[in-house]
Amino acid sequence: MNESCSVLIDNQPYDFEVDGDFFWGNEVLLYDEASSPISKMDWKNEGYGIIQAFSDSDFFKLKSSIEYNVIKAIKLHVSDFDETAFTLDNYHQIVSNNELHNDIIDITRNLQNSDFNFDIEALVEHFSEVLGFKLTSYIEELDKTHIQIRISRPNSLDINPPHRDGYLSYYQDIVNVWIPIHGCNELSSLPVLPGSHLIPENEILRTQSKGAKINGNTYYVPCILKTKNGNICMIRPNPKQGEALVFTPYLIHGSAVNKNENITRVSLELRFPKLKGS
């Protein structure tokens, strides 16, 4: 069934069409503070916090590794691609149609630690220390590490719906780490609904996993259309270069529309499970 999803992002209304079957859930709270990797943080009730993650030199090393992966993905699909003129900034001028973009993100949303010329394990260590729990980058159910480069072109529907990663079984015990790489600002940064990890399922109207289609694309994550309080009012915490937005997978986030006129937005998503027994 076609529904209009209306969200407020920093008080600005944004609407898009979602195709899916929506239902209210049971009277249960999925977020469990006792086992959550954010339980020692003073922002645990907001569900998200901003954590310093990189020195300038480490950040630029990571960014160039991301550029390398995007270029590699474009090369697989564009035979006469001139990489010397490419920057993440002008991605949308080179990848100007949806079909090619979908081919590129099929690759960039399925990467692993080994695809990056960057010490991901050092990041795991860093976030383990900050959160006070031993984390790992290995996701048992997927039997691999999992890193996603998110690319969102200006004036596009390159967005996933408002959702919780925790609805997917392999993301239930993780912490989400969202890292701004390029073009992330007050017009494009990832929106979240503060405190929404504390909303029980009977107050949430959503689809099943793989049950929502936006602009012809089916997303793995369910779409959350509204809560019992009405439409979803999100904010963009907008972490700066070198920082990371860290949040529980039960926090509602997404619909990261890029309202910049002429800049592609690129971010990195990592998911670190708590090491068993820690």
Binding site for Fe ion (CB under 5 A): 165
Residue 211 gets the label, from left (phi > 0), alpha (psi -120 to 50) or beta, of alpha
Closest distance of CB 165 from Fe ion, Å: 4
Nearer of residues 146 and 226 to Fe ion, judged by Cβ? 146
Nearer of residues 94 and 190 to Fe ion, judged by Cβ? 190
Radius of gyration over every alpha carbon of the chain, rounded to an integer in angstroms:
18
Closest distance of CB 191 from Fe ion, Å: 11
Nearer of residues 113 and 267 to Fe ion, judged by Cβ? 267
Interior CA angle at 223 toward 46 and 170, to 5°?
Answer: 75
Measured at CB, which residue is nearest to Fe ion? 165
Nearer of residues 124 and 256 to Fe ion, judged by Cβ? 256
Closest distance of CB 67 from Fe ion, Å: 23
Closest distance of CB 269 from Fe ion, Å: 7
Distance between CA atoms of residues 213 and 18, nearest Å: 6
92 token code pair? 């949308």
Please answer whether residues 24 and 205 qualify as being in contact, where contact means their C-beta atoms are separated by less than 8 angstroms: yes
Distance between CA atoms of residues 224 and 208, nearest Å: 10
